[in-house]
Each structure stands twice: as C-alpha cells, then as structure tokens.
C-alpha cells in the first residue's frame, strides 16, 4: 500500500524532542527521513535517561522511528559538500538548532532558497519567534509551558503554577510544525517554490491555551467566570485568568471524582472526570437519584447551580464508593453523561483496545536486545497503513545514503579518513 508522503525526502537536523516528534510523524506518513547526526555522538538523547547501559535510550528510540541515520561533520569541506548534495536532492529540511546556527554553518535560508534548492521547504522550531524580544533565549519543554500561559492557568488557586505531564512545549510544537510543513508542501504544488516554515514553542503552547485567553477577555469584560469554583468558595478571581483546579475549561462544569480505589486507598488513580453538561441535566438528575432537581429552581438552570457546583460534585462522589472508575464510566454512559476514567501509564501501556488499534505497538530493536513500546500515529487512515520501524543506530545508513548521492566506496573511505563521517 502506498503512503501519503512516498517519494518525499526529508533532511532531519533536529535533536531532543520537538523536531524529532515532527519528523517521526512525517516518517509514519511515508517520507524518507534522513537524520543527520554528529559523528561519535549523535542526538544527545541517545544517552539521556538510559535504561540499558551503553544502548540507545527509550527517549531516543521513541521519537526517532521510521528514519535513517547518517553521521556528518558539517565543519569539514567534505561534510559541507555532502550536506549541499542532500539539500539539492531533498524536499524538506527540518532543524531546531539555536537561532543563527544554520547561518553560521553556511546554510542560511537565503543561500538554500536562492542558490541550492528553491523548491526546498526549510522548517524550524525555536523557543520564541523571530523578532520576539526573547528570541535568543534557550527554551525547553517546561519553560515553553510557562512562557505560553499553560503553567499560570494550571493547578489550584491556593498553590503555585504547575506544568503538565504532557509535552505541550516539545511534542506539541513538533505537531504544529508538521502541520505547517504539510501546508507548505501543498502550496509548493501550486507555486513550484519552497518556503521557510517556523514554529515558536511559546506560540504553540499559547495556541493550546486559547480558551484561557478567552477567559481573560471574559474576565475583563464581565468580571465573572461562572464555570470556575471561585465564586462558590468566596475567592476573588483577580485580574488574570486564575488557576481553576480541575474545573472544566470548555464551558461545562466538571470535576475529578474519587472512585472505590481512591476512597479506600488501594488505587491512587481510581478517579473519573465527571461533567455537568447543561443539556444533559435531566439525565444526570435521574442517574444520581435526584429527580426533584430537574424542576427545582435552585438547581434546574446553570445560573442557579453556579454557586453550588462543588456541593453537587461532592454528592455525586459519595455515590461512587463501591464502583471503580471503569464501572462509573459505564454507569454514567448509560445516561449519556460525559465521564471518563483517569488512565495510568501502566494501564495505557497494556490497554487491549490501544494494542488492537496499533496505537501502542511493540518494536523490535537490533541493539537493545528485545522489544520496546512506542506510540504509533494517533491519526488513522482508510487508505494507508502506518508501519512503525525501529529507530536507527548512529550512522547506520551513512554508506547507503552517500551511495544514493553518487559517492563510491572509495569516495566514502576517503571522506571517512578526512573525519567528515
């Protein structure tokens, strides 16, 4: 079966997470992703948080599947020549070096576009956008969550800002870049020309915090945020979107509720998220054995409930002491109530549905001595299968790629002797 990006060649000059997440996704879609790494070292995450001594880490393997790896020292004349040939033959170059690094390397966007390959799409991830006052600052995952508004609006009102366990700064930025690359590729079909695509981690996080900017404007205009529990608790909202604990951000009040294991202490993740959807209020009342609330003016409108939401959640929670989160989810779903379990990483790793759907997959690795788990594409296609291949060893495909560029075995031996590979 053909793939969406068959025939598309990508030079992957990224490292750590944001860039590799982007290029791996493009690899899932069928692109030939050539990861360019420093001889003798490679992507720094090969050695980060190792679980097997002397072997590539899970950090590296889980973000670099479906790629080929070459080693290249671009500070040497041979290395520069090889990179030039790669650029001339490629469709896309992705990098997440510090600002100005590609220019110092001799491969500025202007040179690439005007001299080497006007059809090439050059995609970059940086911490802040070009032209931003902080554009030269180094940004990692949690820094991006802070600079993009996620941390200030995550946590409880009486505690500090919190960062999310999900990679809102890195992987999220990589997915935004992936979208931009695909858009530029489509535009190239029309214009015949490549372009520069850039994503700032701060802005990618801010995009996911869009509803919090919505709330900032509502707060300034009305002084109210009715779905937050502050009014019921008598806590001032302040002048900036507050931390709302587990309050629902979509406009429908929600809260985290304890189930059997959390009540008796046997399972710290035995919780559900329960939503008081306004147009499901009648069904909610029936399900929780409070039919009188359907007509009670103290409860039968959102406005009436806004000062007693936590009391309602506490009542619902009291009904859940003898049911686990999966039983509660089914119990709520029978009445079409939005409710779902808190799934631990262990549960997700072995979830039979995710295994059946090939979202969680086992991948054989030639050097780690067995299989590792990784996450395939969350995007499913009716006309394309996603095949997950293991992450490459450092420089595993150097000779193969160079021969595709026209180099002979003798050339490769000479270049390797010149310390370019």
**Tokens in use for 302?**
């959102």
Would you state the pLDDT for residue 262?
97
> Model confidence at 252, in pLDDT bands (50, 70, 90)?
confident
pLDDT score for 246: 94
DSSP characters over 148-202: TTTGGGSS-TTS-----SS-TTHHHHHHHHHHHHHHHHHHHHHHS---EEEEEHH
pLDDT for res 284: 97
- pLDDT at position 380 is 96
Q: Is the pLDDT of residue 122 over 80?
A: yes
Helix/strand/coil for 124: strand
Q: Could you tell me the two tokens for 60?
A: 């590296």
Distances (CA, A) of 296 to 72, 178, 283, 293, 299: 73, 51, 15, 5, 5
Mean pLDDT over residues 203-228, rounded?
Answer: 95
Provide the token pair at 375.
């996450």
pLDDT confidence band for 279 (50 / 70 / 90):
very high
What is the rounded average pLDDT of the residues 37-44? 95
Where does the pLDDT of residue 319 fall: very low under 50, low under 70, confident under 90, or very high at 90 and above?
very high
Residue 48 Cα to chain centre, angstroms: 19
Q: Band the pLDDT of 250: cuts 50, 70, 90.
A: confident
Q: What is the pLDDT of residue 276?
A: 94
Catalytic residues: 170
249 pLDDT tier (thresholds 50, 70, 90) = confident
Residue 331 has pLDDT above 80, yes or no: yes
pLDDT in the model for residue 95: 97
Q: Is 9 helix (H, G, I), strand (E, B) or coil?
A: strand
pLDDT at 251 over 80: no
What is the residue whose two structure tokens read 């990861």? Answer: 35
Asked if the model's pLDDT at residue 102 lies above 90, the reply is yes
What distance in Å separates the CA atoms of residue 317 and residue 329, rounded to the nearest whole number? Answer: 13
Q: pLDDT at residue 33 above 80? A: yes
pLDDT in tens, 146-157: 999 999 999 999
The pLDDT assigned to 2 comes to 92
**Residue 334 pLDDT > 80, yes or no?**
yes
Q: What is the mean pLDDT of residues 333-352?
A: 97
Q: How confident is the model at residue 65 (pLDDT cuts 50, 70, 90)?
A: very high
pLDDT in tens, 367-394: 999 999 999 999 999 999 999 999 999 9
pLDDT of residue 287: 97
């Amino acid at each position: 079966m053909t793939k969406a990006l068959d025939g598309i060649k990508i030079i992957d000059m990224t490292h750590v997470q944001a860039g590799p997440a982007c290029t791996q996704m493009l690899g899932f879609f069928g692109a030939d992703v050539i990861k360019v790494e420093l001889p003798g070292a490679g992507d720094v995450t090969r050695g980060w948080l190792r679980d097997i001594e002397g072997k590539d880490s899970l950090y590296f393997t889980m973000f670099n599947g479906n790629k080929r790896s070459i080693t290249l020292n671009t500070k040497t004349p041979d290395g520069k020549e090889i990179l030039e040939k790669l650029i001339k033959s490629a469709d896309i170059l992705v990098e997440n070096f510090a600002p100005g690094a590609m220019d110092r390397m001799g491969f500025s966007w202007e040179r690439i576009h005007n001299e080497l390959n006007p059809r090439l799409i050059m995609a970059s991830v940086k911490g802040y956008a070009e032209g931003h006052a902080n554009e030269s600052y180094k940004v990692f995952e949690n820094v991006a969550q802070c600079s993009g508004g996620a941390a200030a609006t995550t946590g409880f009102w009486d505690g500090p800002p919190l960062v999310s366990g999900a990679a809102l700064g890195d992987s999220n930025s990589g997915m935004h870049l992936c979208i931009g690359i695909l858009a530029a590729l489509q535009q190239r079909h029309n214009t015949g020309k490549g372009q520069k695509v850039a994503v700032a981690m701060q802005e990618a996080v801010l995009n996911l915090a869009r509803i919090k900017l919505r709330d900032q404007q509502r707060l300034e205009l009305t002084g109210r945020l009715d779905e937050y529990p502050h009014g019921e608790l008598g806590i001032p909202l302040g002048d900036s979107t507050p931390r709302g604990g587990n309050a629902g951000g979509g406009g429908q009040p929600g809260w985290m509720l304890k189930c059997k294991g959390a009540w008796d202490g046997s399972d710290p993740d035995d919780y559900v998220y329960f939503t008081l959807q306004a147009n499901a209020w009648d069904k909610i009342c029936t399900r929780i054995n409070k039919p009188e609330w359907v007509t009670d003016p103290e409860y039968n409108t959102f406005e009436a409930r806004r000062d007693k939401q936590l009391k309602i959640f506490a009542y619902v929670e009291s009904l859940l002491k003898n049911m686990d989160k999966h039983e509660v989810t089914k119990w709520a779903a029978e009445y079409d109530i939005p409710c779902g379990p808190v799934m631990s990483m262990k549960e997700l790793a072995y979830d039979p549905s995710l295994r059946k759907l090939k979202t969680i997959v086992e991948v054989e690795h030639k050097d780690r001595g067995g299989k590792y788990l990784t996450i395939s594409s969350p995007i499913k296609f009716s006309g394309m299968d996603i095949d997950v291949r293991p992450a490459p060893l450092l420089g595993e495909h150097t000779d193969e790629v160079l021969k595709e560029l026209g180099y002979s075995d003798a050339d490769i031996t000479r270049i390797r002797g010149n310390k370019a590979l």
